[in-house]
Chain A
Amino acid sequence: MSDKSPAEQKLTEMIVEVLNLEDISPDEIDPEEPLFGDGLGLDSIDALELAMAISQQYGVQLKADDEETRAVFENVRKLTAYIEREARAA
Protein backbone atom coordinates (compact mmCIF):
# COMPACT_ATOMS: atom_id res chain seq x y z
CA MET A 1 0.00 0.00 0.00
CA SER A 2 1.38 3.43 -0.87
CA ASP A 3 1.38 6.22 1.73
CA LYS A 4 -1.38 8.80 1.72
CA SER A 5 -0.78 12.52 1.74
CA PRO A 6 -2.68 14.46 4.45
CA ALA A 7 -5.22 15.58 1.83
CA GLU A 8 -5.72 12.00 0.67
CA GLN A 9 -6.10 10.83 4.27
CA LYS A 10 -8.73 13.49 4.90
CA LEU A 11 -10.67 12.52 1.76
CA THR A 12 -10.47 8.81 2.64
CA GLU A 13 -11.90 9.51 6.08
CA MET A 14 -14.71 11.50 4.52
CA ILE A 15 -15.51 8.66 2.09
CA VAL A 16 -15.77 6.12 4.91
CA GLU A 17 -17.95 8.45 6.96
CA VAL A 18 -20.25 9.69 4.20
CA LEU A 19 -20.82 6.25 2.69
CA ASN A 20 -21.31 4.43 6.00
CA LEU A 21 -18.58 1.93 5.25
CA GLU A 22 -18.72 0.81 8.90
CA ASP A 23 -16.86 -2.40 8.21
CA ILE A 24 -13.91 -0.75 6.44
CA SER A 25 -11.35 1.45 8.18
CA PRO A 26 -9.73 4.37 6.31
CA ASP A 27 -6.32 2.70 6.77
CA GLU A 28 -7.52 -0.31 4.73
CA ILE A 29 -8.09 1.86 1.67
CA ASP A 30 -5.12 2.22 -0.64
CA PRO A 31 -5.04 5.64 -2.39
CA GLU A 32 -4.51 3.87 -5.71
CA GLU A 33 -7.14 1.18 -5.20
CA PRO A 34 -10.11 1.52 -7.57
CA LEU A 35 -13.09 2.97 -5.72
CA PHE A 36 -15.61 1.37 -8.08
CA GLY A 37 -15.96 -2.13 -9.44
CA ASP A 38 -13.54 -4.68 -8.09
CA GLY A 39 -11.82 -2.40 -5.58
CA LEU A 40 -13.93 -0.79 -2.91
CA GLY A 41 -17.08 -1.58 -4.89
CA LEU A 42 -18.76 1.80 -4.81
CA ASP A 43 -21.70 2.46 -7.16
CA SER A 44 -23.51 5.38 -8.75
CA ILE A 45 -25.47 6.14 -5.57
CA ASP A 46 -22.14 6.50 -3.80
CA ALA A 47 -20.86 8.74 -6.59
CA LEU A 48 -23.78 11.07 -6.04
CA GLU A 49 -23.49 11.02 -2.22
CA LEU A 50 -19.77 11.74 -2.53
CA ALA A 51 -20.37 14.54 -5.01
CA MET A 52 -22.76 16.16 -2.52
CA ALA A 53 -20.25 15.87 0.33
CA ILE A 54 -17.43 17.20 -1.85
CA SER A 55 -19.47 20.21 -2.95
CA GLN A 56 -20.33 20.96 0.70
CA GLN A 57 -16.85 20.50 2.14
CA TYR A 58 -14.64 21.71 -0.71
CA GLY A 59 -17.02 23.90 -2.71
CA VAL A 60 -16.22 21.87 -5.83
CA GLN A 61 -19.02 20.80 -8.21
CA LEU A 62 -18.13 17.52 -9.86
CA LYS A 63 -18.86 17.30 -13.56
CA ALA A 64 -18.98 14.38 -15.89
CA ASP A 65 -19.85 14.84 -19.54
CA ASP A 66 -22.18 11.93 -19.32
CA GLU A 67 -21.84 9.24 -16.73
CA GLU A 68 -18.04 9.23 -17.04
CA THR A 69 -17.74 9.16 -13.27
CA ARG A 70 -15.23 6.38 -13.26
CA ALA A 71 -12.49 8.61 -14.66
CA VAL A 72 -12.87 11.28 -11.97
CA PHE A 73 -13.50 8.74 -9.25
CA GLU A 74 -10.87 6.22 -10.24
CA ASN A 75 -9.13 6.28 -6.88
CA VAL A 76 -8.52 8.48 -3.85
CA ARG A 77 -5.31 9.87 -5.37
CA LYS A 78 -6.94 11.04 -8.62
CA LEU A 79 -10.01 12.37 -6.84
CA THR A 80 -7.88 14.36 -4.39
CA ALA A 81 -5.83 15.82 -7.25
CA TYR A 82 -9.03 16.73 -9.10
CA ILE A 83 -10.56 18.46 -6.07
CA GLU A 84 -7.37 20.42 -5.40
CA ARG A 85 -7.15 21.53 -9.03
CA GLU A 86 -10.79 22.61 -9.17
CA ALA A 87 -10.62 24.36 -5.78
CA ARG A 88 -7.62 26.38 -6.97
CA ALA A 89 -9.34 27.29 -10.24
CA ALA A 90 -12.46 28.53 -8.44
Chain B
Amino acid sequence: MDGTGRLALLRRSPKDHIACVRGQPVTVERFAHDVRTLIPRLPDAPYCFNLLQDRYAFTVAFTANLATGRVNLLPPNAKTSVQERLARRFDHVAVLHDGTDVAPGLDALDLRRALTPPEQPPDDGPSAPASLEAEAGAIGAIAFTSGSTGEARPIPKSVRMFRGATRAYREAIVPDGTSLVATVPAQHMYGLELVSLQPLWYPVRFTACKPLFPEDVRKELERVPAPRVLVTTPLHLRALLDSGLAFPGLQRVVCATAPLSEDLARRAESTLGTEVIDVFGCSEAGCIATRRLSETSTWRPLPGFTLSLPDPGECTVDSVHADEPVALSDQVRLHRDGTFDLAGRLGDQINVAGKRGSLGEITALMLEVPGVDDAVAFLPPSGAENQRPAAFFAGSANRRAIRAHLRASLDDVFVPRPLLQVDHLPRTDSSKLPREAVLALYRQATGGP
Protein backbone atom coordinates (compact mmCIF):
# COMPACT_ATOMS: atom_id res chain seq x y z
CA MET B 1 0.00 0.00 0.00
CA ASP B 2 1.50 3.38 -0.86
CA GLY B 3 0.77 6.69 0.85
CA THR B 4 -1.11 8.20 -2.04
CA GLY B 5 -4.39 7.57 -3.78
CA ARG B 6 -7.82 6.99 -2.37
CA LEU B 7 -9.02 4.16 -0.17
CA ALA B 8 -12.53 2.72 -0.01
CA LEU B 9 -13.90 3.26 3.49
CA LEU B 10 -16.31 0.36 3.28
CA ARG B 11 -15.42 -2.85 1.49
CA ARG B 12 -18.10 -5.32 2.47
CA SER B 13 -20.95 -7.09 0.79
CA PRO B 14 -24.09 -4.83 1.05
CA LYS B 15 -26.37 -7.46 2.61
CA ASP B 16 -23.82 -8.56 5.24
CA HIS B 17 -24.37 -7.51 8.82
CA ILE B 18 -21.91 -4.90 10.05
CA ALA B 19 -23.44 -4.16 13.43
CA CYS B 20 -25.94 -5.27 16.01
CA VAL B 21 -27.87 -2.45 17.67
CA ARG B 22 -29.97 -3.37 20.72
CA GLY B 23 -30.14 -6.92 19.42
CA GLN B 24 -31.15 -5.91 15.85
CA PRO B 25 -28.77 -6.67 12.98
CA VAL B 26 -27.75 -3.74 10.74
CA THR B 27 -26.69 -4.35 7.14
CA VAL B 28 -23.65 -2.79 5.45
CA GLU B 29 -26.10 -1.14 3.05
CA ARG B 30 -28.00 0.55 5.89
CA PHE B 31 -24.77 1.64 7.56
CA ALA B 32 -23.58 3.23 4.29
CA HIS B 33 -26.95 4.93 3.91
CA ASP B 34 -26.69 6.36 7.44
CA VAL B 35 -23.19 7.68 6.72
CA ARG B 36 -24.40 9.34 3.51
CA THR B 37 -27.40 10.98 5.19
CA LEU B 38 -25.25 12.27 8.04
CA ILE B 39 -22.68 13.88 5.70
CA PRO B 40 -24.80 16.91 4.64
CA ARG B 41 -25.74 17.52 8.29
CA LEU B 42 -22.19 17.61 9.67
CA PRO B 43 -21.11 20.94 11.17
CA ASP B 44 -19.01 23.10 8.88
CA ALA B 45 -15.71 22.47 10.69
CA PRO B 46 -12.52 20.63 9.68
CA TYR B 47 -12.10 19.07 13.17
CA CYS B 48 -14.82 17.22 15.08
CA PHE B 49 -14.67 15.88 18.62
CA ASN B 50 -16.24 12.46 18.24
CA LEU B 51 -17.70 12.00 21.73
CA LEU B 52 -20.45 9.54 20.83
CA GLN B 53 -21.14 6.92 23.49
CA ASP B 54 -23.24 4.69 21.24
CA ARG B 55 -20.71 2.76 19.18
CA TYR B 56 -22.94 2.55 16.11
CA ALA B 57 -23.43 6.33 16.02
CA PHE B 58 -19.72 6.77 16.79
CA THR B 59 -18.74 4.62 13.81
CA VAL B 60 -21.23 6.28 11.44
CA ALA B 61 -19.87 9.71 12.46
CA PHE B 62 -16.25 8.54 12.30
CA THR B 63 -16.74 7.24 8.75
CA ALA B 64 -18.67 10.35 7.66
CA ASN B 65 -15.78 12.49 8.94
CA LEU B 66 -13.23 10.40 7.01
CA ALA B 67 -15.31 10.54 3.82
CA THR B 68 -15.45 14.34 3.96
CA GLY B 69 -11.81 14.96 4.90
CA ARG B 70 -12.72 15.94 8.47
CA VAL B 71 -10.49 14.89 11.35
CA ASN B 72 -11.99 12.95 14.27
CA LEU B 73 -10.60 14.34 17.53
CA LEU B 74 -10.55 11.70 20.26
CA PRO B 75 -9.92 13.39 23.61
CA PRO B 76 -8.85 11.26 26.60
CA ASN B 77 -12.25 12.01 28.19
CA ALA B 78 -15.33 14.09 27.36
CA LYS B 79 -15.00 16.72 30.09
CA THR B 80 -15.86 20.24 28.93
CA SER B 81 -12.61 21.61 30.39
CA VAL B 82 -10.70 19.15 28.19
CA GLN B 83 -12.80 20.12 25.14
CA GLU B 84 -12.01 23.79 25.77
CA ARG B 85 -8.31 23.24 26.26
CA LEU B 86 -7.91 21.09 23.13
CA ALA B 87 -10.23 23.18 20.94
CA ARG B 88 -7.92 26.19 21.35
CA ARG B 89 -5.21 24.27 19.53
CA PHE B 90 -7.20 23.83 16.30
CA ASP B 91 -8.67 26.28 13.84
CA HIS B 92 -12.31 25.38 13.99
CA VAL B 93 -13.69 22.55 16.07
CA ALA B 94 -17.21 21.17 16.34
CA VAL B 95 -18.61 18.50 18.65
CA LEU B 96 -20.50 15.34 17.65
CA HIS B 97 -22.23 13.82 20.66
CA ASP B 98 -25.25 11.96 21.99
CA GLY B 99 -25.98 13.81 25.19
CA THR B 100 -22.53 14.71 26.54
CA ASP B 101 -22.07 18.25 27.90
CA VAL B 102 -20.53 20.52 25.26
CA ALA B 103 -18.03 23.28 26.08
CA PRO B 104 -19.55 26.76 25.59
CA GLY B 105 -18.89 28.35 22.21
CA LEU B 106 -18.39 25.12 20.22
CA ASP B 107 -20.74 24.14 17.39
CA ALA B 108 -22.40 20.87 18.25
CA LEU B 109 -24.49 18.20 16.55
CA ASP B 110 -26.57 15.81 18.66
CA LEU B 111 -26.73 12.56 16.69
CA ARG B 112 -29.76 11.37 18.64
CA ARG B 113 -31.57 13.92 16.47
CA ALA B 114 -29.42 13.86 13.32
CA LEU B 115 -29.33 10.09 12.86
CA THR B 116 -32.37 7.81 12.54
CA PRO B 117 -31.94 4.78 14.83
CA PRO B 118 -31.27 1.66 12.73
CA GLU B 119 -34.41 -0.05 14.07
CA GLN B 120 -36.48 2.55 12.19
CA PRO B 121 -36.89 2.87 8.40
CA PRO B 122 -33.98 4.77 6.84
CA ASP B 123 -34.10 8.53 6.56
CA ASP B 124 -34.87 9.64 2.99
CA GLY B 125 -33.48 13.18 3.40
CA PRO B 126 -30.63 14.58 1.29
CA SER B 127 -27.57 12.37 1.19
CA ALA B 128 -24.02 12.41 -0.13
CA PRO B 129 -23.06 10.76 -3.45
CA ALA B 130 -22.44 7.04 -3.54
CA SER B 131 -18.71 6.54 -3.07
CA LEU B 132 -17.36 6.52 0.46
CA GLU B 133 -13.64 6.96 0.24
CA ALA B 134 -10.77 8.99 1.65
CA GLU B 135 -7.24 10.11 0.76
CA ALA B 136 -4.92 7.38 2.04
CA GLY B 137 -2.47 9.85 3.54
CA ALA B 138 -5.10 12.11 5.11
CA ILE B 139 -5.21 12.37 8.91
CA GLY B 140 -8.34 10.50 9.92
CA ALA B 141 -8.15 10.92 13.66
CA ILE B 142 -6.07 12.57 16.35
CA ALA B 143 -5.90 10.90 19.76
CA PHE B 144 -4.28 12.62 22.71
CA THR B 145 -2.02 11.32 25.40
CA SER B 146 -0.79 12.90 28.62
CA GLY B 147 2.59 14.61 28.63
CA SER B 148 4.76 15.45 31.62
CA THR B 149 4.40 19.18 30.93
CA GLY B 150 0.65 18.97 31.49
CA GLU B 151 -0.12 19.60 27.81
CA ALA B 152 -1.79 16.67 26.01
CA ARG B 153 0.30 15.36 23.12
CA PRO B 154 -1.53 14.80 19.81
CA ILE B 155 -1.24 11.41 18.10
CA PRO B 156 -2.32 11.78 14.46
CA LYS B 157 -3.34 8.65 12.54
CA SER B 158 -3.73 8.46 8.79
CA VAL B 159 -6.47 6.56 6.99
CA ARG B 160 -3.72 4.35 5.51
CA MET B 161 -2.51 3.41 9.01
CA PHE B 162 -6.02 2.40 10.05
CA ARG B 163 -6.49 0.35 6.90
CA GLY B 164 -3.12 -1.43 7.34
CA ALA B 165 -3.77 -2.07 11.02
CA THR B 166 -7.08 -3.82 10.41
CA ARG B 167 -5.37 -6.10 7.88
CA ALA B 168 -2.82 -7.11 10.54
CA TYR B 169 -5.52 -7.72 13.17
CA ARG B 170 -7.52 -10.03 10.96
CA GLU B 171 -7.37 -13.61 12.28
CA ALA B 172 -4.45 -12.87 14.65
CA ILE B 173 -6.87 -10.97 16.90
CA VAL B 174 -10.31 -10.85 15.32
CA PRO B 175 -11.42 -13.90 13.31
CA ASP B 176 -13.71 -13.32 10.30
CA GLY B 177 -17.39 -14.04 10.80
CA THR B 178 -17.51 -13.16 14.49
CA SER B 179 -19.69 -10.79 16.56
CA LEU B 180 -17.66 -8.35 18.64
CA VAL B 181 -18.93 -7.30 22.06
CA ALA B 182 -16.65 -4.74 23.69
CA THR B 183 -16.43 -3.30 27.19
CA VAL B 184 -13.94 -0.65 26.08
CA PRO B 185 -14.83 2.86 24.86
CA ALA B 186 -15.02 3.56 21.13
CA GLN B 187 -12.65 6.52 21.55
CA HIS B 188 -9.80 4.41 22.95
CA MET B 189 -7.42 3.34 20.14
CA TYR B 190 -7.87 -0.34 21.04
CA GLY B 191 -11.67 -0.11 20.92
CA LEU B 192 -11.60 2.11 17.85
CA GLU B 193 -9.43 -0.04 15.61
CA LEU B 194 -10.57 -3.51 16.66
CA VAL B 195 -14.26 -2.92 17.15
CA SER B 196 -15.33 0.06 15.02
CA LEU B 197 -12.87 -0.06 12.11
CA GLN B 198 -12.28 -3.79 11.61
CA PRO B 199 -15.93 -4.20 10.44
CA LEU B 200 -15.48 -1.54 7.72
CA TRP B 201 -13.13 -3.82 5.81
CA TYR B 202 -13.52 -7.37 7.14
CA PRO B 203 -16.61 -9.55 7.73
CA VAL B 204 -17.23 -9.03 11.44
CA ARG B 205 -20.12 -7.39 13.35
CA PHE B 206 -19.85 -5.02 16.30
CA THR B 207 -22.44 -4.19 18.92
CA ALA B 208 -23.43 -0.63 19.67
CA CYS B 209 -23.42 -0.77 23.44
CA LYS B 210 -20.57 -0.84 25.90
CA PRO B 211 -21.70 -3.12 28.72
CA LEU B 212 -19.98 -2.51 32.06
CA PHE B 213 -21.33 -4.85 34.73
CA PRO B 214 -21.03 -8.64 34.30
CA GLU B 215 -24.81 -9.02 34.02
CA ASP B 216 -24.86 -6.42 31.21
CA VAL B 217 -22.05 -8.24 29.41
CA ARG B 218 -23.91 -11.53 29.68
CA LYS B 219 -27.13 -10.03 28.28
CA GLU B 220 -25.33 -8.37 25.38
CA LEU B 221 -23.45 -11.57 24.50
CA GLU B 222 -26.75 -13.45 24.50
CA ARG B 223 -28.35 -11.18 21.97
CA VAL B 224 -25.66 -11.37 19.29
CA PRO B 225 -25.22 -14.32 16.93
CA ALA B 226 -22.37 -16.79 17.57
CA PRO B 227 -19.41 -17.06 17.10
CA ARG B 228 -18.75 -14.32 19.63
CA VAL B 229 -15.58 -12.47 20.58
CA LEU B 230 -15.42 -10.47 23.79
CA VAL B 231 -13.05 -7.48 23.56
CA THR B 232 -12.19 -6.44 27.08
CA THR B 233 -9.61 -5.55 29.75
CA PRO B 234 -8.11 -7.45 32.72
CA LEU B 235 -10.31 -5.45 35.08
CA HIS B 236 -13.57 -6.30 33.32
CA LEU B 237 -12.47 -9.90 32.84
CA ARG B 238 -11.82 -10.36 36.57
CA ALA B 239 -15.26 -8.92 37.32
CA LEU B 240 -16.88 -11.42 34.91
CA LEU B 241 -15.14 -14.38 36.51
CA ASP B 242 -15.92 -13.25 40.06
CA SER B 243 -19.61 -12.74 39.24
CA GLY B 244 -20.21 -16.48 39.02
CA LEU B 245 -22.63 -15.89 36.12
CA ALA B 246 -22.89 -18.36 33.22
CA PHE B 247 -21.87 -16.75 29.93
CA PRO B 248 -22.84 -17.88 26.42
CA GLY B 249 -20.21 -19.71 24.39
CA LEU B 250 -17.31 -17.56 23.23
CA GLN B 251 -14.93 -18.18 20.37
CA ARG B 252 -12.29 -15.97 21.92
CA VAL B 253 -11.61 -13.36 24.57
CA VAL B 254 -9.36 -10.52 23.48
CA CYS B 255 -7.84 -8.62 26.36
CA ALA B 256 -5.73 -5.46 26.25
CA THR B 257 -4.77 -2.17 27.93
CA ALA B 258 -2.74 -3.84 30.69
CA PRO B 259 -0.92 -7.17 30.76
CA LEU B 260 -2.99 -10.07 32.07
CA SER B 261 -1.74 -12.13 34.96
CA GLU B 262 -1.16 -15.79 34.18
CA ASP B 263 -3.57 -16.78 36.94
CA LEU B 264 -6.38 -14.62 35.56
CA ALA B 265 -5.77 -15.89 32.01
CA ARG B 266 -5.94 -19.54 33.13
CA ARG B 267 -9.06 -18.97 35.21
CA ALA B 268 -10.71 -17.22 32.26
CA GLU B 269 -9.85 -20.02 29.86
CA SER B 270 -11.24 -22.73 32.12
CA THR B 271 -14.33 -20.82 33.33
CA LEU B 272 -15.35 -19.42 29.95
CA GLY B 273 -14.16 -22.47 28.00
CA THR B 274 -12.35 -20.39 25.40
CA GLU B 275 -8.95 -19.05 24.43
CA VAL B 276 -7.81 -15.75 25.90
CA ILE B 277 -5.64 -13.62 23.63
CA ASP B 278 -3.65 -10.91 25.40
CA VAL B 279 -2.84 -7.88 23.22
CA PHE B 280 0.05 -5.44 23.65
CA GLY B 281 -0.14 -2.04 22.01
CA CYS B 282 -0.10 1.72 22.36
CA SER B 283 -2.11 4.59 20.89
CA GLU B 284 0.62 5.55 18.40
CA ALA B 285 1.10 2.10 16.86
CA GLY B 286 -2.21 0.42 17.66
CA CYS B 287 -2.10 -3.29 18.53
CA ILE B 288 1.48 -4.53 18.18
CA ALA B 289 1.75 -8.07 19.50
CA THR B 290 -0.25 -10.92 21.02
CA ARG B 291 0.29 -13.91 23.28
CA ARG B 292 -1.78 -16.69 24.77
CA LEU B 293 -0.68 -16.85 28.37
CA SER B 294 -1.69 -20.45 28.87
CA GLU B 295 1.02 -21.26 26.30
CA THR B 296 3.71 -18.59 26.69
CA SER B 297 4.46 -15.28 28.38
CA THR B 298 6.48 -14.10 25.35
CA TRP B 299 4.86 -11.65 22.94
CA ARG B 300 4.74 -12.31 19.19
CA PRO B 301 4.49 -9.25 16.93
CA LEU B 302 1.55 -9.16 14.53
CA PRO B 303 2.28 -9.72 10.83
CA GLY B 304 4.07 -6.65 9.44
CA PHE B 305 5.28 -5.33 12.83
CA THR B 306 8.97 -5.27 13.81
CA LEU B 307 10.54 -4.20 17.09
CA SER B 308 14.09 -2.89 17.31
CA LEU B 309 16.45 -1.49 19.93
CA PRO B 310 18.21 1.50 18.34
CA ASP B 311 19.76 2.46 21.72
CA PRO B 312 20.10 0.57 24.98
CA GLY B 313 16.92 1.03 26.99
CA GLU B 314 15.01 2.38 24.00
CA CYS B 315 12.66 0.27 21.93
CA THR B 316 10.88 1.29 18.76
CA VAL B 317 8.21 -0.47 16.75
CA ASP B 318 7.86 -0.16 13.02
CA SER B 319 5.15 -1.53 10.78
CA VAL B 320 4.60 -1.75 7.07
CA HIS B 321 1.73 0.74 7.23
CA ALA B 322 3.13 3.27 9.74
CA ASP B 323 4.70 6.50 8.56
CA GLU B 324 7.64 6.25 10.97
CA PRO B 325 8.86 4.09 13.87
CA VAL B 326 7.19 4.69 17.24
CA ALA B 327 9.16 4.77 20.51
CA LEU B 328 7.60 2.57 23.21
CA SER B 329 7.29 3.69 26.82
CA ASP B 330 7.86 0.10 27.94
CA GLN B 331 11.11 -1.67 28.72
CA VAL B 332 11.50 -4.53 26.27
CA ARG B 333 13.72 -7.65 26.17
CA LEU B 334 13.93 -8.48 22.49
CA HIS B 335 14.68 -12.05 21.34
CA ARG B 336 16.47 -13.05 18.16
CA ASP B 337 13.36 -14.37 16.46
CA GLY B 338 11.61 -11.00 16.90
CA THR B 339 9.48 -12.06 19.87
CA PHE B 340 9.88 -10.14 23.12
CA ASP B 341 9.19 -9.89 26.86
CA LEU B 342 8.05 -6.79 28.70
CA ALA B 343 9.92 -5.57 31.76
CA GLY B 344 7.96 -2.62 33.11
CA ARG B 345 7.29 0.92 32.01
CA LEU B 346 9.77 3.75 31.72
CA GLY B 347 9.89 6.64 34.17
CA ASP B 348 7.06 9.09 34.18
CA GLN B 349 4.45 7.18 32.17
CA ILE B 350 1.73 5.27 33.97
CA ASN B 351 -1.18 3.18 32.78
CA VAL B 352 -4.36 2.81 34.80
CA ALA B 353 -7.09 0.68 33.30
CA GLY B 354 -5.78 1.31 29.80
CA LYS B 355 -5.57 5.06 30.21
CA ARG B 356 -2.12 6.48 29.86
CA GLY B 357 -1.05 9.22 32.20
CA SER B 358 1.97 11.10 33.36
CA LEU B 359 3.08 11.43 36.99
CA GLY B 360 4.74 14.74 36.11
CA GLU B 361 1.45 16.09 34.83
CA ILE B 362 -0.38 15.15 38.05
CA THR B 363 2.36 16.76 40.15
CA ALA B 364 2.30 19.92 38.00
CA LEU B 365 -1.48 20.22 38.38
CA MET B 366 -1.32 19.74 42.17
CA LEU B 367 1.20 22.57 42.41
CA GLU B 368 -1.31 24.90 40.71
CA VAL B 369 -3.67 24.67 43.69
CA PRO B 370 -3.38 27.63 46.12
CA GLY B 371 -2.01 26.38 49.44
CA VAL B 372 -0.02 23.50 47.92
CA ASP B 373 3.65 24.26 48.67
CA ASP B 374 5.16 21.03 47.43
CA ALA B 375 3.76 17.85 45.92
CA VAL B 376 4.67 14.57 44.28
CA ALA B 377 2.60 11.93 42.52
CA PHE B 378 4.06 8.43 42.38
CA LEU B 379 3.09 4.85 41.72
CA PRO B 380 3.11 2.67 44.84
CA PRO B 381 4.60 -0.78 44.24
CA SER B 382 1.80 -3.33 43.88
CA GLY B 383 0.69 -6.36 41.99
CA ALA B 384 -2.76 -4.92 41.34
CA GLU B 385 -4.08 -4.76 37.79
CA ASN B 386 -5.15 -1.19 38.19
CA GLN B 387 -2.69 0.40 40.55
CA ARG B 388 -3.60 4.06 40.79
CA PRO B 389 -1.14 6.82 41.49
CA ALA B 390 -0.82 8.06 45.07
CA ALA B 391 0.46 11.49 46.11
CA PHE B 392 1.88 13.54 48.95
CA PHE B 393 1.47 17.24 49.33
CA ALA B 394 2.72 19.78 51.83
CA GLY B 395 0.85 22.99 52.61
CA SER B 396 -2.45 24.25 53.93
CA ALA B 397 -4.69 23.29 50.96
CA ASN B 398 -7.53 20.90 51.67
CA ARG B 399 -7.77 17.58 49.91
CA ARG B 400 -11.20 18.25 48.41
CA ALA B 401 -9.92 21.39 46.70
CA ILE B 402 -6.95 19.51 45.26
CA ARG B 403 -9.15 16.66 44.03
CA ALA B 404 -11.60 19.08 42.45
CA HIS B 405 -8.79 20.86 40.62
CA LEU B 406 -7.28 17.60 39.33
CA ARG B 407 -10.65 16.24 38.23
CA ALA B 408 -11.27 19.31 36.09
CA SER B 409 -8.35 18.32 33.83
CA LEU B 410 -7.49 14.70 34.49
CA ASP B 411 -9.33 11.50 33.97
CA ASP B 412 -10.78 10.40 37.32
CA VAL B 413 -8.52 7.34 37.49
CA PHE B 414 -5.46 9.60 37.74
CA VAL B 415 -6.71 11.52 40.77
CA PRO B 416 -4.27 10.21 43.40
CA ARG B 417 -5.54 7.76 45.94
CA PRO B 418 -4.56 8.11 48.70
CA LEU B 419 -3.79 11.80 48.66
CA LEU B 420 -1.76 12.34 51.82
CA GLN B 421 -0.84 15.57 53.56
CA VAL B 422 2.64 15.75 55.10
CA ASP B 423 4.68 18.48 56.81
CA HIS B 424 7.32 18.35 54.11
CA LEU B 425 8.47 16.00 51.39
CA PRO B 426 11.69 13.99 51.89
CA ARG B 427 13.83 16.14 49.61
CA THR B 428 17.63 15.88 49.60
CA ASP B 429 19.94 18.87 50.08
CA SER B 430 19.96 19.36 46.33
CA SER B 431 16.12 19.36 46.56
CA LYS B 432 15.85 16.09 44.65
CA LEU B 433 13.14 13.67 45.66
CA PRO B 434 14.50 10.11 45.55
CA ARG B 435 11.84 7.53 44.73
CA GLU B 436 13.08 5.32 47.58
CA ALA B 437 12.49 8.09 50.12
CA VAL B 438 8.99 8.70 48.77
CA LEU B 439 8.14 5.01 48.99
CA ALA B 440 9.56 4.80 52.54
CA LEU B 441 7.34 7.69 53.56
CA TYR B 442 4.40 5.97 51.88
CA ARG B 443 5.01 2.73 53.81
CA GLN B 444 5.21 4.74 57.00
CA ALA B 445 2.00 6.65 56.23
CA THR B 446 -0.11 3.68 55.17
CA GLY B 447 1.39 0.99 57.38
CA GLY B 448 1.75 -1.06 54.18
CA PRO B 449 4.61 -3.28 53.04
- Residues of chain A whose beta carbon lies under 8 Å from any beta carbon of chain B: 19-23, 36-38, 41-45, 47-48, 51-52, 55-56, 61-67, 69
A55 B243 Cβ-Cβ under 8 A: yes
| CB < 8 Å neighbour of B213 from A19, A43, A61 | A61
A67 B235 Cβ-Cβ under 8 A: no
B417 A21 Cβ-Cβ under 8 A: yes
Which of B5-13, B103-111, B204-212, B267-275 participates in binding chain A? B204-212
B412 at the interface (CB under 8 A from A): yes
| CB < 8 Å neighbour of A66 from B210, B214, B244 | B210
With A21-B418, A45-B386, A48-B239 already in contact, the answer to whether A63 and B404 are too (CB < 8 A) is no
A69 B403 Cβ-Cβ under 8 A: no
The 8 residue pairs across chains A and B that have the minimum distance between CB atoms: A43-B412, A23-B418, A61-B215, A22-B418, A62-B213, A63-B215, A66-B209, A51-B213
B242 A52 Cβ-Cβ under 8 A: yes
Known contacts A44-B212, A45-B413; 17 further A-B pairs (Cβ under 8 A) = A19-B417, A21-B417, A38-B407, A41-B407, A41-B412, A43-B413, A44-B353, A48-B212, A48-B235, A48-B236, A48-B239, A51-B213, A61-B243, A61-B245, A63-B215, A64-B212, A66-B216
With A22-B418, A22-B446, A23-B399 already in contact, the answer to whether A56 and B242 are too (CB < 8 A) is yes
B53 A66 Cβ-Cβ under 8 A: yes
Q: Which residues of A contact B264 (CB under 8 A)?
A: none
| CB < 8 Å neighbour of A63 from B213, B235, B407, B411 | B213
Interface residues of B in 402-445 (CB under 8 A from A): 403-404, 407, 411-413, 415, 417-420
Interface residues of B in 338-393 (CB under 8 A from A): 352-353, 386
Interface size class for chain B? Answer: 35 or more
Report 21 cross-chain contacts, Cβ distance below 8 Å, ordered by A residue: A19-B417, A20-B417, A37-B407, A38-B407, A41-B407, A43-B413, A45-B353, A47-B212, A48-B213, A52-B242, A55-B242, A56-B242, A61-B243, A62-B215, A63-B219, A64-B212, A64-B213, A65-B209, A66-B210, A66-B216, A67-B210
B239 A41 Cβ-Cβ under 8 A: no
A42 B412 Cβ-Cβ under 8 A: yes
Q: Which residues of A contact B245 (CB under 8 A)?
A: 61
CA distance in complex: A51, B245 (Å): 13
CA distance in complex: A36, B216 (Å): 20
B404 A38 Cβ-Cβ under 8 A: yes
The listed residue with most A CB atoms (<10 A of its CB), out of B211, B212, B413, B446, is B212
CA distance in complex: A22, B386 (Å): 16
Q: Which residues of B contact A43 (CB under 8 A)?
A: 411-413
Q: Which residues of B contact A41 (CB under 8 A)?
A: 403, 407, 412, 415
B407 A51 Cβ-Cβ under 8 A: no
Report B249 CB to chain A, min CB distance, Å. 20
A52 B417 Cβ-Cβ under 8 A: no
> Considering only CB atoms, which chain B residue lies closest to A38 in the complex?
B404
Report B247 CB to chain A, min CB distance, Å. 13
Q: Which residues of B contact A38 (CB under 8 A)?
A: 404, 407
CA distance in complex: A30, B394 (Å): 27
With A63-B216, A67-B212 already in contact, the answer to whether A52 and B243 are too (CB < 8 A) is yes
Q: Which residues of B contact A21 (CB under 8 A)?
A: 417-418
Q: Which residues of A contact B419 (CB under 8 A)?
A: 23
With A43-B413, A45-B386, A66-B53 already in contact, the answer to whether A23 and B212 are too (CB < 8 A) is no
CA distance in complex: A66, B238 (Å): 19
A66 B215 Cβ-Cβ under 8 A: no
B212 A20 Cβ-Cβ under 8 A: no
CA distance in complex: A67, B55 (Å): 12
